Structure 1
Amino acid sequence: MNPLSVRARQAPADTLASPLLRVVNLRKSYATPQGPLPVLRGVDLVLRAGETLALMGESGSGKSTLLHLVGALDRGDAGEILLEGVDIERLSENARAALRREAIGVVFQQFNLVASLTVAENLAFQARLAGRYDPDWQARLTARLGLDALAARYPEQLSGGQQQRVAVGRALAVRPKLLLADEPTGNLDEAAGDAVMALTLDLVAETGCAFLMVTHSARLAARLERQETLIAGALSAS
């Protein structure tokens, strides 16, 4: 069962339209030999369907930590992460895994493609796991990402920009409610990074999903609708 179909905890609405994502007083620390190291100190965040947000901050500020918590890849110490009103922090591991398959797409800096699968198989991988494979949508994605001629190749036969386009397509193949990206152009040159970002934003607009991106680049961040910065473990609008 899709965990979002069970409204275990409804987020309060501060406007007529409730946000897709609401993060409330989120805290996270990591154990060190010197004791707990606080990374997130009460983060509050709202993101609506179709909205794009760039998350900035210095190295070690907790940007990736926040992204992993929102993506149900880790758990916080305190606070709430509500996706369509469901607090994902309270879900079982099985329900969190289903959420990652069906409702959340993640694009990693290191691409994380499956080396033994072709481009076409990598694109379909998450959608097949979620039982949401749509051949028509896959064909459109493949064409939009300029991957038609590369469908039978393996990741090692692709450039970095081509691999990142496959990673974006794989994340969007399930038509997620929320797309997360952690430095998605960090391993690419400026031209390739700009091309990947333009394609990603076009496809985000087409699918209507919300987009949360971690980036060090103020230039790329400016292409998204909103920018916020992590400072001392809390968010500040840029």
Structure 2
Amino acid sequence: MLDVNDLRKRYDTPQGPLRVLDGVSMHLPAGQSLALMGESGCGKSTFLHVVAGLDSADGGTVSVDGDNVSAMDDSARAALRRDRVGLIFQQFNLIPSLTVRDNLSFQARLAGRLDRDWLDRLTGRLDLGGLMDRYPEHLSGGQQQRVAIGRTFAARPSLVLADEPTGNLDEATSDSVMALSLELVRETGCALLVVTHSDRLAGAMDRTLRLSGGRLSGGRLDGERPDGERSQ
């Protein structure tokens, strides 16, 4: 589902070049969840943005469903995010002028995959049935995040990328939101990559990798060696 090979990214600073990604390689199969951890500023969000096509790397490749994201132009990357890659952020990013119902269906409509039966199932699973006519400002943080998750999964993406998705939530709500997300990953067969500082959240994922000094270490994913490189 997601293949990253020899990814490199650096930033120029007054102290000299800062290599935040220094030959990163990993593989995430469909139906698997992965937590990416590391100290603040180590490059986790940069890695996520490069995978999503929101930022460009200095070298290496990112492939989603076998398509080379690194070789795409801006229009093709936007189409990838619309059609196959779902994004969940800490800030929720709901559209304030739309109701819960319209926020939920927004991404699926853009992707041309609005399925009313699937949307109804998501609404029930996320316990949003009584909130459909409300606007985001009238929802709690946990409710807004459930809407954001529902909006993402409504479009049935192949890959879901989440950047600190429970950072604004209390522990109980965080556990509930992530449990629902993992259920949806298993049900839809997509892959889930979560950037987090939370050991508790990471412990719920299938695997955990840690980014430090521009390199990955930690538990293996299918087809990887312990150093994070793909086996041949």
Which residue matches 2:3? 22
Provide the aligned C-alpha RMSD in A: 1.0
Q: Which amino acid aligns with 2:55?
A: D
Show the 5 A alignment for 1:114-153.
Answer: 114-153=95-134
Looking at structure 1, the residues matched to 151 and 9 of structure 2 have their Cα atoms a distance apart, in angstroms, of: 29
Aligned position for 2:176: 195
C-alpha deviation, 1:32, in angstroms:
3.0
How far 1:165 moved relative to its partner? 0.3
User: Offset of 1:134 from its aligned partner?
Assistant: 1.1
Q: Deviations over 1:145-181 (max 9, x none)?
A: 0001000000000000000000101111110000111
Work out which of the residue numbers 62, 73, 76 in structure 2 matches 1:92: 73
1:75 to partner: Cα distance: 1.1
Amino acid corresponding to residue 148 of structure 1 in structure 2: G
Letter in 1 for 2:161: L
- Residue 31 (str. 1) matches residue 31 (str. 2): no
Any idea what the Cα deviations from partners look like across 1:4-29, whole Å, max 9, x if unmatched?
A: xxxxxxxxxxxxxxxx1110010112
Structure 1 residue 35: Cα displacement: 4.2
Where does structure 1 differ by over 6 angstroms across 4 or more consecutive aligned residues?
A: none
Partner SS state of residue 27, structure 1: strand
* 2:83 is the counterpart of 1:110: no
TM-score, scaled relative to structure 1: 0.90
State the AA in 2 paired with 1:71: A
CA shift, 1:72, in A, is 1.3
> Secondary structure in 1 aligned to 2:86?
strand
Q: Note if 1:209 corresponds to 2:190.
A: yes
What's the counterpart of residue 10 of structure 1? none
Contact 2:32 2:185 in 1 (8 A): no
Q: Which moved more, 1:34-43 or 1:179-188?
A: 34-43
> Does structure 1 residue 177 correspond to structure 2 residue 158?
yes
Which stretch shows the higher mean deviation, 206-215 or 130-139?
Answer: 130-139
Q: Distance in 1 between matches of 2:71 and 2:195?
A: 25
In the TM superposition, what is the alpha-carbon distance from 1:34 to its structure 2 partner? Answer: 4.3
Choose from 59, 66, 70 the match for 2:47.
Answer: 66
State how far apart, in whole Å, the 2-side matches of 1:219 and 1:152 are.
33
